[in-house]
Amino acid sequence: MMSELVQVGENTFYIDNPAKIGLFRLNEKEVCLIDSGNDKDAARKAKKLLEENGWTLSAIYNTHSNADHIGGNKYLQDKTGCKIYAPGAECAIARHTFISPSFLYGGYPFDELLHKFLYAQPSDAEYLTRENVPDGFDIIDLPGHFFDMVGFRTPDDVVFLADCLSSERTLEKYQISFVYDVAKYLKTLEMVIGMRAKLFVPSHAAPTDNIAPLAQKNIDKVYEIADMLTDICKEPTNFELILKRVFEIYDHRMNFEQYALVGSTVRSYLSWLKSEGKIEAFVEDNLLLWKRK
């Protein structure tokens, strides 16, 4: 795992992890982080980088509560006493992380879903407000991927975009990325297309000064998935068979984690397609069925 500290502005850096950790230098001694990495190991390496530079950690600003973004919260808070802030519902999940695997599964999760990729350690997070971000920071609402996800623009005009889009490689390899609210996700991507900044730093894609082409590719993928699901539902079909067909079309092999993540996403797409009038839902012979209109 890489943990290289990359400077992208006078006081703005990121730590190159699988889920990038933003770092902003508040003064000569104090820094804050944007997210905390996917686990204790990522957090430990981040702490080592801070120590090597003679910095102390004052706060962590979580973009959202997915485990790969809050996985280092508890370790860093325990070791440094730093504050942790998270927006809206994300704060509740950061404090009560059992919500996340329960939500993804749709009930009480079985043991194989209770691992660090879905279930981070809880931390003492506080609600993010405009008043508790550093001077010169902007909070950018980025709903859609998860409940109340946000990004941040630092005073160096560097924008951390969290998980509002996937890299081209991820889109090609996995095809269907996790989305909670498809309608809000599309609105967020359209907004991102119009944004300007010195540099954009997505959590899972390469930094760039022109984010619009990648945002458009993510929009195109949403509509591709929507067309695929609508076609799968040309005849009345229940959810499990729809999900099975998605895995077959994309030539993926299902495991417990992918059942939860892709399954939750497919349910979100079905809800959106129903609200858009593209498919309908009805109960027949004690089965909830979906059918193209």
**CA distance linking residue 123 with residue 166, whole number of Å:** 27
Alpha carbon separation from 238 to 99, 243, 281 (Å, rounded)? 26, 9, 9
- Euclidean distance between the first and the last CA atom of the chain, given in angstroms as a whole number: 47
Q: How high does pLDDT run on average in the chain?
A: 97
Query: Six-digit token pair at 225?
Result: 């998935």
Average of pLDDT values for 174-184? 97
Question: In the CATH scheme, what architecture does the domain 4-163 have?
Answer: 4-Layer Sandwich (3.60)
The conformation of residue 122, written as its DSSP 8-state character, comes to P
* Contact between 292 and 255 (Cβ < 8 Å): no
CATH of range 227-292; options 3.30.2020, 1.10.10, 1.10.287, 3.40.1000: 1.10.10
Longest dimension (CA), the chain: 68
Burial class (CB in 10 A: 0-12, 13-18, 19+), 42: buried
Residue 167 pLDDT greater than 60, yes or no: yes
Checking if the pLDDT of 2 tops 50, the result is no
pLDDT tens digits, one per residue of 53-105: 999 999 999 999 999 999 999 999 999 999 999 999 999 999 999 999 999 99
CA angle (176 as vertex; 171, 178 as ends), nearest 5:
110
Q: What is the pLDDT of residue 1?
A: 39
Across-strand partners of 21? 15
Determine the Cα–Cα distance for residues 237 and 55; give it in Å rounded to an integer. Answer: 57
| In the chain, where the domains are located | 4-163, 227-292
Cα–Cα distance list, 78 to 38, 72, 83, 85 (Å): 16, 10, 10, 15
Q: Cα separation of 62 and 67, whole Å?
A: 11
Both tokens assigned to 142: 């980025």
Q: What is the pLDDT of residues 94-131, one digit of tens each?
A: 999 999 999 999 999 999 999 999 999 999 999 999 99
> What does the block give as tokens for 175?
């095809």
